[in-house]
Structure 1
Amino acid sequence: MHYQWIASQAALPAIIQKLKQSHSHALDTEFIKVDTLYPKLGVLQINVDGQVYLVDGNLDLSILWQAIFTAKQNIFHACGEDVDLIYHYAQQKPLTNIFDTQVAMAFLGYGMQVGYQAAVETILNIQVEKDQTRSDWLARPLSPEQVQYAANDVLYLQQLAERLIEDLKQKNLYDYVIEDCQSYCLSLAQNYSPEDAYLDMANFRHSSKQLMQLKQLMTWREELALRENKPRSYILKNGAIQKILERNPKTFHQLAGQYEIRSGILREHGKHILSLINELPDPSTWLKRLPRPYRYQLAETSVAIEQLLNQVSRDLSVPIDTLMRKKWMTQLQVFATQEHADIQTLNPYLLGWRLDLITKPILELIRKDQGAARQ
Structure 2
Amino acid sequence: MAIQLYQNDLPAGLDLGDIVAVDTETMGLNLARDRLCLVQLSAGDGDAHLVQFADGDYSAPNLRALLADPKITKLFHFARFDLAMIRHHMGIDCQPVYCTKLASKLVRTFTDKHGLRDLCRDLIGVEISKQQQSSDWGAAELTREQLNYAASDVLYLHDLKARLDAMLAREGRSEMARACFDFLPWRARLDLAGWDEVDIFEH
TM-score interval, normalised by the smaller of the two chains: 0.7 to 0.9
Q: Which amino acid in the other structure matches residue 176 of structure 1?
A: M
- Residue 96 of structure 2 corresponds to 97
Structure 1 pair 123–36 and aligned structure 2 pair: CA distance change class (3 A): closer
Segments of 5+ residues of structure 1 without an aligned counterpart are 202-325, 331-375
Q: 1:257-309 CA deviation, whole Å, 9 max, x = no partner?
A: xxxxxxxxxxxxxxxxxxxxxxxxxxxxxxxxxxxxxxxxxxxxxxxxxxxxx
Amino acid at match of 2:121: E
Q: Give SS of 2:13's match.
A: helix
- Match of 1:55? 51
Deviations 1:179-216 (A, max 9, x none): 112223212224887xxx69x68xxxxxxxxxxxxxxx
Instruction: From the two aligned structures, give the one with the greater helix fraction.
Output: 1
Question: 1:120, CA displacement in angstroms?
Answer: 0.6
The 1-side partners of 2:139 and 2:80 are apart by 24
Match of residue 46 from structure 1: 41
1:1-375 superposed matches below 5 A: 1-7=1-7, 9=9, 11-15=10-14, 18-19=15-16, 22-33=17-28, 37-50=32-45, 51-58=47-54, 60-70=59-69, 71-93=71-93, 95-108=94-107, 109-111=109-111, 114-190=114-190, 328-330=201-203
Can you list the C-alpha shifts for 1:36-84, whole angstroms capped at 9, x where unaligned?
8243222111001413111112364243123212142111011122111
Identity %: 21
How far the C-alpha of 1:2 sits from its partner, in A, is: 1.7
- How many pairs are equivalent? 196
> For the aligned residues, what is the CA RMSD?
2.8
Contact 2:75–2:97 (8 Å) recurs in 1: yes
Q: Confirm or deny: 8 A CA contact 1:79 1:100 kept in the other structure.
A: yes
TM-score by length of 2: 0.83
Return the alpha-carbon distance in structure 2 between the equivalents of residues 36 and 25 of structure 1: 23
Q: Name the TM-score, length of structure 1 as normaliser.
A: 0.47
Unaligned runs of 5+ in 2: none
The one-letter code of the counterpart of 1:328 is: F
Q: 1:185 to 1:127 in 2, by over 3 A?
A: same
Q: 1:63 to 1:113 in 2, by over 3 A?
A: farther
Measure, in 2, the Cα distance between the counterparts of 1:182 and 1:327: 18
